[in-house]
Amino acid sequence: MTTFSAVSCTHYPFFVIPGFIPLKSHIENSFIVAAKVDKIEPWNAITSNKPTHSFRYYQDQEPYFIYAGESSKPANHLDYEARMQELSDQLYLKFHKTPAFTWHTHDVMTNDSLPFIGSINAQNPNLLIATGFNKWGMTNGVLAGMILSDIVKGKENRYQDMMRPDRPINLEKIKNFFLDGYQNAVSYTKTKLQKNQPFYQDNVKITYENGTRIGIYRDDNGKLHKVCNVCPHMKCNLIFNYLDHTWDCPCHGSRFDIDGNVIEGPAVYNIKLNAKKDK
Ligand code: FES
């Protein structure tokens, strides 16, 4: 009999059951700046203390120095623009450089710092996932490819047991399980209690229309973009991200453009007004 496997590698699983990944993980943002330099140096480094900062050089058409840091949970820092400014200020103060490029990441962090790769649980052995790469996406992405292909082919893989998503709990996991749950609850509550964040400028407003909580962004031409302000995944409220001009969910990292199109999961539905189930 032929057995089929379904592989879900969507950064963050778009389903809650089975697996309950939102209970076993949290989102962390990291911020990165790149400055032009005269030449690249033959070293890179990462700090061993918290908060972590990393440094490296990269030769593109021109040489760049790349500086990353200011990681934070969205529950603690909703204003991404302020975090980026903080990192840019450090770049100037420590290295006398200004950023030529900036970007930021949303990473899925697990409660024991190992990724979830493999069958989601014993009851669903043919539903395979790969998520929770804990900022080591290149390494863990390759590892996920090796483990998942071995599982599909019915081959043994020495890392399979260590990475399986339903691996046994240990003390560290129990502690982080409650911490993640607490952080997610803080994100949820913060967005529910405070409609308009203190860092919103007068081009962003949260209000209610016909009982629906909506977010309004006024673009540089004065055009209003109205969307539903409730995340379709698990109903957190969305925060406006001034770096990318997107609506971001601080609970599990879903993101939407200013017109309500979903651009990153786990949400799979748009947030357009009157079309909340529009995919
Ligand atoms: Fe889960 Fe928004 S509530 S991503």
Q: What is the pLDDT along the chain (279 residues), one digit of tens a residue?
A: 667 889 998 888 888 888 888 888 888 889 999 999 999 999 899 998 888 899 999 999 999 999 998 888 877 788 889 999 999 999 999 999 999 999 998 899 988 889 999 999 989 989 999 999 999 999 999 999 999 999 999 999 999 999 999 988 777 777 777 777 777 777 777 777 777 888 898 999 999 988 889 999 999 999 999 999 999 998 889 999 999 999 999 888 899 999 999 999 899 999 998 764 544
Distance from residue 262's CA to the centre of ligand 1 (Å): 12
Distance CA 176, CA 183 (A): 10
**Structure-token pair, residue 114:** 């190992």
Is the CB–ligand 1 distance for residue 251 below 6 Å?
yes
Distance from residue 69's CA to the centre of ligand 1 (Å): 24
Per-residue pLDDT at 27 = 87
Q: Are 98 and 85 in contact (CB under 8 A)?
A: no
* Closest protein CA for atom 3 of ligand 1: 234
The best mutation among 12, 187, 248, 252 to test binding of ligand 1, ranked by most ligand atoms within 8 Å of the C-beta, falls on 252
Per-residue pLDDT at 1 = 65
The best mutation among 131, 228, 236, 247 to test binding of ligand 1, ranked by most ligand atoms within 8 Å of the C-beta, falls on 236
**Structure-token pair, residue 139:** 């390494």
Is the CB–ligand 1 distance for residue 271 below 6 Å?
no
Q: Which atom of ligand 1 is nearest to the CA of 236?
A: 3
Is the CB–ligand 1 distance for residue 249 below 6 Å?
yes
Alpha-carbon distances, residue 79 vs 76, 114, 120, 150, 247 (angstroms)? 9, 28, 34, 42, 12
What are φ and ψ of residue 83, in 5° steps? -65, -40
Helices first, then strands: H and E counts in the chain? 4, 15
**Structure-token pair, residue 99:** 């950023």
Cα–Cα–Cα angle for 144, 145, 146, rounded to 5 degrees: 90
Q: Are 255 and 237 in contact (CB under 8 A)?
A: no
**Structure-token pair, residue 14:** 């778009």
**Is pTM beyond 0.75 here?**
yes
Per-residue pLDDT at 127 = 93
Per-residue pLDDT at 279 = 47
Distance CA 238, CA 212 (A): 13
